[in-house]
Structure 1
Amino acid sequence: MADQLVADVIVERLRTWGVERVFGYSGDGINAFMGALRRAAGNPAFVQARHEETAAFMAVGHAKYTGQVGVVTSTQGPGAIHLLNGLYDAKLDHVPVVALIGQQQRSVLGSGYMQEIDLLNVTKDVAAHFNQLASSPEQIPMVIDRAFRAALAARQPVVVILPHDIQQAPAPEHPQEHGKLLTSPVWNPPQVLPGEADLRRAAEVLNAGTRVALLVGQGARAARQEVVEVAGRLGAGIATSLLGKPYVDESLPFVAGTMGHLGSTASAHLLGNCDTLLIVGSNDPWTEFYPPHGSVRAVQIDLDPAALGNRFPVEAGLTGDAAATLQRLLPLLEAKSDTSWRSEVEAGVRRWHRLRERRAGVAARPVNPELVIRELNGRLPADAQLAVDVGSVVYWYARQLTLPPEVPAHLSGTLASMGCSIPYAIAAKLARPERPAVVLSGDGAMQMSGLAELVTVGRMWKQWQDPRFVVCVLNNRELTEVTWEQREMEGEPRFPDSQELPDVNYADYARLLGMDGLRVEDPDQLGAAWEQALAADRPFLLEVLTDPEVPLLPPFPAGATKAETMRQGLGAEGSAGGHARELLERYVALEEELQD
């Protein structure tokens, strides 16, 4: 240890915790740590993003795709502030991330020094479970160990602030004496199970129901089989939260798809007509799309006891791992002899499948965005890793794409931050370079950060075992989701100064970076374009010119009310809103036709 610095001790501790890569952006406040990473010769590797915010998204993506802790680093001041958006993404979607943030040396703190900000206060909310300024070299192993344990135990982001002089200090000895702590880089997850009385109470509620629905979230990621078995025993239908979509096979006839504002009519019917609800690992905030209060009995399973009853009143709350809890619950459940509810659910699912097909077939100018995503069905490789950005593209992903089993798909679900998709996909690709990555993004997200991170892709891709990294950009020259939100929520007309985006030829930009690309304006070319992109020998940007006036109509019956305020906003647009009005009325008519 004689020639080692504290920065080397940090790197060694990261290695002991199994960290394979650190995402970030350098700066003087973290330079000693960067030197230690250089000396580590790629173990762990350093991944340079174009911006600290996207570096944080990469760490979140790593955690989401691998289940491991994502690690990100930045300098103090602006670098630290830029991390916050990605760290809040981790906080709201419950994934473990450790942020190692540089700081000015201790002797100048409090002086208003260059780039000095109060990092403990800045990060105290986002890192509420662990947020620590290292104040001595001897403290470092303990602080790193506690940070990882807190991130893993709470599935939350944590922050360790590293003053520059601490990083540069000689590596200390650690004698066993008063005031010194020796810790170990060890953490093992517990198996959490509810008590027998709670299980019996939950079974009592579920057995009494005749029209049972399951709402499944990301907490059921390891309970795919158990969810289906319980639904089978209860004759139930299944809806998912947006984050739960990848963990339920939507090809099953009783799976109604995603719930909520961007969900399906089948899920709206399921949740609106059930008499009993079983919530498994979901904390979905779209409470207006839950069953009517007072008319439905409910049971909830969640690993976090604080989540029980958080979104919907429940009679029985089961704290436990979803898979193990469902395994213990299943023998207590009685098989339903009356199959009429299941038949009703399946009929609703079939109507929804017809509706989404017809929606994708509605003619648009030039291409209907729903059709772009629909054409990916049957073409998405079974070993793909999917990243979805925020905006109108999420609606089309939720409604039109049926994921192959075991294809991971992630997005910024609860924070809903634009610009996450390409950083996520980079992290996924680095973790599993032998698998193709596919990104679904709008043009707003691409202009926010995607174009910059394409530079990162261009720098890396020749090192990947499988070079396929397909980015599909829906280019409609508009912040479409916000435009439709203004029409729907405010009854306001479109505000061009706020909503219009400059037209960028994204495919040309990709080619400038040594990738391949194609711009599509004809819906008949979509299938062939997807196949070309997915067969490419290098990263490929598929740009499709889509129609911003295709309505983001919520599922009926709530959608009928929303359509009225949309009409109000479009009415204020005069002739400029004519095309959008025509498409809205076409979509409303399709809904009404399938209800008859």
Structure 2
Amino acid sequence: MGNVAQQIIDSLAASGVQRIYGVPGDSLNGITDAIRTNDSITWSHVRHEEAAAFAAAAEAELSGRLAVCAGSCGPGNMHLINGLYDAARTRVPVLAIAAQIPSDEIGSGYFQETHPQELFRECSVYAELVSDPAQMPRMLRTAMQAAIARRGVAVLVIPGDVALKDADSSTLAAAFAPAPRVLPSESELRELAGELNAAGRVTILAGAGAAGAHDEVIALADRLAAPIVHALRGKEHLEWENPFDVGMTGLLGFASGYRAMEAAQTLLVLGSDFPYRQFYPEHARVLQVDLRGEQLGRRAQLNLGVVGDVKETASALLPLLREGRDRGHLEDATRHYAKTRRKLDELARPAKDGKPLHPQHVAARIDAHAAEDAVFIPDVGSPVVYAARYLTMNGRRSLLGSFIHGSMANALPHAIGAASLNPGRQVVTLSGDGGLTMLLGELFTLVQSKLPVKVVVFNNSSLNFVELEMKAAGFVTFGTGLENPDLAAVARAAGLAVLPRQVRYVFGGAA
């Protein structure tokens, strides 16, 4: 029958899990030994548990399936927390196995004692302690289902001694991944159509909730004669083959997206939780479609909000909308976008001889040379700006990042998960020098796990975006300088291939 740890690993394998990211430790010995004897699941050893959680988050986002990470008791699983917060805010299904101290020592102030079920409560949809073998596999099944159904983090806390006890039964947990259709009621659809039919200038703001709904949103924009502004997480899903695209708004956006929203008499928000309230139009009527009812009206005062999947709702709404709308607003917005786009592209020109390359130019060249199905992963900070403005999506490329949690150092560990999931797919990081050096040890993970990630470092010897924020707020820049080593030499010492010096990109004079 085996022990509880073997039951957990066999259940995860039966649920389609292929790997577990983590760092081993004595309280995890039962789990890692069960992985050693299982042919379906591999142990993906990283150098820091934070990277394990980020890697699992990236795998879950790209695959849409449950991904798993693990940490040993006390400080081991505590290190997971930043990556788990990122997974929670991105709303991807991740299971974290948090090992605990011996069960008979809990509450005694024992060596490395923490209470993970409390520690992870805020960033999880489920966090519970397994204290008896009889609780398995039901608790594991409940944890997996919570992560999948609620698209979030589930944490299973298990003391090392409980993991080594004989399993109470031979039953395996199996997770289900339901795919329901979610539509507003008929009366809500008619009310929404009535609002749109009576509207003058309509602009669409679409986000990650529009994933898989590209054609339906395009058809809706065509019928409404509406320009489409995309949030950053909507870029991947809506930017390509879109004659209605007018770019982004917000802190990372540009004038055309802001203007298209500001000029709207009605704003239709589709699957977006765009957080910056100051960028919403002040006088427009706001209509919102979101799969999660709790999102409705969170960012702007609504005239109407409905719960529904964007793809299903757009399809059901289209036949109810009148045709023959005036297209002046759309044409004005797309002309302004073309003008704005030309100005942005002018910034991506090559530098003069002997001068450091412009980062915009580097981003544009990455875009030009990357594979048609590349996964791009920018670090939080200025690399996100360059990714948002100069990477082009085509329906096959992916763009990942810590776009909601906003954590430094996400690019390299996210890349570990992306490359582990798809070994043959090109994965490219746009790493900042601050972000890279924060989790520098994960370069060794790339080598050890033989992951062919392309790491591009924007090395300006500073926390550049923090400096920009300081200047914008009227502060003198302070505490943002970085004295970096020769990062190419570090990478070469780690065992990575490095471009020859004459073609290596240089920023701000720092090699």
Q: Normalized against structure 1, the TM-score is what?
A: 0.82
- The alignment status of 1:165 with 2:170, answered yes or no, reads no
Separation in 1, partners of 2:508, 2:289: 41
Q: 1:283 aligns with which of 252, 255, 273?
A: 273
For 1:415-468, what per-residue CA distance to the aligned partner results, in whole angstroms no more than 9, with x for missing partners?
A: 11011112112211111112111111110101111x21111111222xx6xx4x
Partner of 1:379: 369
Separation in 2, partners of 1:31, 1:441: 34
- The alignment status of 1:122 with 2:119, answered yes or no, reads yes
Separation in 1, partners of 2:361, 2:483: 23
What is the CA-CA distance between 1:360 and the residue it aligns to?
2.5
What is the CA-CA distance between 1:509 and the residue it aligns to?
2.4
Separation in 2, partners of 1:507, 1:336: 59
Q: 2:293 aligns with which of 282, 291, 305?
A: 305
For 1:546-585, what per-residue CA distance to the aligned partner results, in whole angstroms no more than 9, with x for missing partners?
A: 249xxxxxxxxxxxxxxxxxxxxxxxxxxxxxxxxxxxxx
Partner of 1:331: 319
User: Equivalences for 1:259-298 in 2 at 5 Å?
Assistant: 259-292=249-282, 295-298=283-286
Partner of 2:134: 138
Partner of 1:500: 481
Partner of 2:459: 475
What is the CA-CA distance between 1:124 and the residue it aligns to?
1.4
Separation in 2, partners of 1:355, 1:473: 25
What is the CA-CA distance between 1:337 and the residue it aligns to?
3.1
Secondary structure of the residue aligned to 1:544 is coil
Q: 1:70 aligns with which of 64, 67, 70?
A: 67
Contact 2:140 2:173 in 1 (8 A): no
Separation in 1, partners of 2:122, 2:410: 21
Partner of 1:534: none
Separation in 1, partners of 2:156, 2:49: 16
For 1:191-240, what per-residue CA distance to the aligned partner results, in whole angstroms no more than 9, with x for missing partners?
A: 21110111111111112222211111111111111111111111111111
For 1:107-131, what per-residue CA distance to the aligned partner results, in whole angstroms no more than 9, with x for missing partners?
A: 111110010112222111112x211
Contact 2:35 2:43 in 1 (8 A): yes
1:12 to 1:174, Cα distance in 2 relative to 1, 3 A: closer
- The alignment status of 1:399 with 2:389, answered yes or no, reads yes
For 1:340-367, what per-residue CA distance to the aligned partner results, in whole angstroms no more than 9, with x for missing partners?
A: 1111011111111111012223858522
Contact 2:223 2:325 in 1 (8 A): no
Separation in 2, partners of 1:378, 1:328: 38
User: Equivalences for 1:482-561 in 2 at 5 Å?
Assistant: 482-489=466-473, 491-495=474-478, 498-518=479-499, 544-547=505-508
Contact 2:224 2:325 in 1 (8 A): no
Separation in 1, partners of 2:221, 2:16: 38
Separation in 1, partners of 2:419, 2:374: 10
What is the CA-CA distance between 1:516 and the residue it aligns to?
1.9
Contact 1:369 1:547 in 2 (8 A): no
Counterpart amino acid of residue 409 in structure 2: G
Separation in 2, partners of 1:362, 1:409: 25
Contact 1:382 1:405 in 2 (8 A): no
User: Equivalences for 1:3-18 in 2 at 5 Å?
Assistant: 4-18=2-16
For 1:231-260, what per-residue CA distance to the aligned partner results, in whole angstroms no more than 9, with x for missing partners?
A: 111111111111111111246343112221
Partner of 2:192: 202
* Structure 2 alignment gaps of length 5 or more: none
Partner of 1:84: 81
Contact 1:253 1:349 in 2 (8 A): no
Contact 1:7 1:168 in 2 (8 A): yes
Counterpart amino acid of residue 7 in structure 2: V
- The alignment status of 1:366 with 2:356, answered yes or no, reads yes
Separation in 1, partners of 2:5, 2:191: 53
Contact 2:11 2:173 in 1 (8 A): no
Partner of 2:17: 19
1:426 to 1:155, Cα distance in 2 relative to 1, 3 A: same
Separation in 2, partners of 1:185, 1:485: 44
Separation in 2, partners of 1:518, 1:288: 44
Contact 1:24 1:49 in 2 (8 A): yes
1:174 to 1:401, Cα distance in 2 relative to 1, 3 A: closer
- The alignment status of 1:419 with 2:415, answered yes or no, reads no
Counterpart amino acid of residue 351 in structure 1: K
Separation in 1, partners of 2:492, 2:273: 42
Separation in 1, partners of 2:54, 2:175: 25
What is the CA-CA distance between 1:187 and the residue it aligns to?
4.0
Separation in 1, partners of 2:55, 2:44: 9
Counterpart amino acid of residue 406 in structure 2: A
Separation in 1, partners of 2:368, 2:241: 12
Separation in 2, partners of 1:212, 1:148: 41
Separation in 1, partners of 2:204, 2:460: 36
- The alignment status of 1:454 with 2:443, answered yes or no, reads yes
Contact 2:3 2:167 in 1 (8 A): yes
Partner of 1:591: none
Counterpart amino acid of residue 146 in structure 1: T
For 1:165-191, what per-residue CA distance to the aligned partner results, in whole angstroms no more than 9, with x for missing partners?
A: 11010121379xxxxxx9753342322
For 1:514-542, what per-residue CA distance to the aligned partner results, in whole angstroms no more than 9, with x for missing partners?
A: 33223778xxxxxxx5xxxxxxxxxxxxx
Separation in 1, partners of 2:230, 2:259: 13
Secondary structure of the residue aligned to 1:517 is coil
Separation in 2, partners of 1:436, 1:158: 30
Q: Normalized against structure 2, the TM-score is what?
A: 0.95
Secondary structure of the residue aligned to 1:258 is coil
1:30 to 1:81, Cα distance in 2 relative to 1, 3 A: same
Partner of 1:156: 152
- The alignment status of 1:356 with 2:356, answered yes or no, reads no
Contact 1:251 1:402 in 2 (8 A): no
What is the CA-CA distance between 1:381 and the residue it aligns to?
1.1
Partner of 1:109: 106
Separation in 2, partners of 1:121, 1:168: 24
Contact 2:15 2:174 in 1 (8 A): no
Separation in 1, partners of 2:496, 2:53: 25
* Structure 1 alignment gaps of length 5 or more: 176-181, 522-528, 530-542, 549-596
